[in-house]
A and B are shown apart, each in its own frame.
Chain A
């Protein structure tokens, strides 16, 4: 059983790190069910989990909090994986969907749809994903145009420019439409609260497509880290790999954005931590992003429920507070790691 998973010595640490991360994730999920705003104490929540709670308590724990945990799980999964993929495609440790305007493209598309008459309830996930795809292509195209496509800072600059432009345009169209503005106000800061599982279900089919894209191109994507010419020499097609991966990133980020709004920095922090733990190979990074993403999002969500009681701090605010220092840390390190 172990030998099926561990084939080289290099994979041994991955296995143990992965198992530990899964245990931590289970603990996070439990804490997420126990702690929260409102009168329900952790002890009472625990009793409810064991089956001794009142109907009200059961509603809080099994409906409100579990939905929220599930959505946190989903958002963490998708954004962590999307970040790792985007960094591998751009060969740039700073490539993060939130910073590069992918999420902003997604929210812009959603705002447009709202103005055109959709409501948050009927909003299709496809619109958010299409917006993410356009944002993704714009920023990678802009950073490549000068030919110097492997300058990490250039990509981030292009992303910052695109992000501000899209956010400004989003604000602008919302200025003219009060109804849309009200619907979108809470959504654009990013939150896992008050979402329902229906959106989650409507996202799942496109997630299967994303998973298929990743399974198909994980190995060629890893070879891209050795350089374009080496990848071609090994019989891969870099253009096609990048195309497939960009579609996967758009599906993932668009899906997460449709559910929780733009949550920045998760795609930066999660792969950064994963690489630090198991090294740079994208296949190992992706495995570890699976538990790490949800761990970070759910932990951030628990904290965001507790720090500003009885109000709640939006998740997007908290991830930015945690994520921005990590970004500075990476930029300030003497030498950007090569991917």
Chain B
């Protein structure tokens, strides 16, 4: 399957997601403090920053898993915590880090879970569910593997199966927490290309990423965070500088455009000399 062979699946509605003076705490410790952010619609946003800077917490806050201490998350202009959870789940899908599925579950069974927000006590299983699953299997290139057990797959295939579950959820928004950090290079590319394809179909995506060159290459918008605050944000080419890398990670490096794609790559990375 080539990436462009995907047939377009129009989203039933657009969705915007933003945070207004969002404060998130773990116990009494403030992780995110008074943060304003808006995810650009129809684009891939990469959230980058050093360990412990609050990237995952921000993603949990935006996806209503983490309840804010103050401030609001706005989904289509409404407080996400005031909307019924199922309605939110029809507009926004979340793929957490370190997902764990029970032993003995097949890919198709996993993907079927993505249909839960569209079902109710009275409407258990319908034709559109079947179609959504078929489409998700197709989009994630898993058609031949649908009856395989999840724990017999490669890491990349497994991650694509989880993303396929989110695709079956048919949401205009998808948030992914470190979708590639446990994967080797080949599997990382599999997953990043799938994410880019989803974006081309009009989905708004946000992901937490550790690898800066991948973040630059596969996103349209980068949010650089440090200590619970946004240092800077914008398109990779505009914001990626030596100074930013030093500020974020405390390392020196040189930047050059990738000769093939033009996106910034880091070379000659070294420890900061005091």
**Which residues of A are in contact with B by a Cβ distance under 8 Å?**
7-10, 215-216, 219-220, 222-223, 225-227, 229-230, 232-237, 275, 279-281, 337-339
Contacts and interface: CB of A to CB of B under 8 A. Distances in A.
Interface stretch (B58-66, B71-79, B227-235): B58-66
B89 A233 contact: yes
A237 B94 CA distance: 15
B93 A225 contact: no
A236 B117 CA distance: 8
Contacts of A9: 147
Contact of A234 (B100, B102, B113, B121): B113
11 contacts: A10-B147, A216-B121, A219-B119, A226-B101, A232-B85, A235-B85, A237-B85, A279-B105, A280-B104, A337-B102, A338-B103
Contacts of A215: 121
Contacts of B85: 232, 235-237
Nearest to B84: A235
Interface string B90-104: 101111100111111
B125 interface: yes
Contacts of B95: 230, 233
Nearest to A234: B116
Nearest to B112: A8
B169 A8 contact: no
B104 A235 contact: no
Given A219-B116, A227-B96, A234 B89 contact: yes
Contacts of B264: none
Contact of A227 (B88, B93, B99): B99
Given A8-B109, A233-B93, A234-B113, A226 B99 contact: yes
B116 A235 contact: yes
B116 A230 contact: no
Given A10-B108, A281-B102, A229 B117 contact: no
A230 B166 CA distance: 10
Contacts of A236: 85, 116
B219 interface: no
A233 B94 contact: yes
A131 B272 CA distance: 64
A275 B104 CA distance: 9
Contacts of A275: 104
A216 B124 CA distance: 12
A279 B95 CA distance: 24
A280 B103 contact: yes
Contacts of A337: 102-103
Given A226-B101, A279-B105, 12 more contacts: A10-B109, A220-B116, A222-B113, A226-B110, A229-B60, A230-B95, A230-B113, A232-B63, A233-B63, A233-B89, A281-B105, A337-B102
A281 B89 contact: no
Nearest to A276: B104
B57 interface: no
A226 B60 contact: no
A229 B96 contact: yes
B114 interface: yes
Contacts of A216: 121
A130 B91 CA distance: 41
B96 A233 contact: yes
A228 B20 CA distance: 26
A339 B94 CA distance: 21
A235 B89 contact: yes
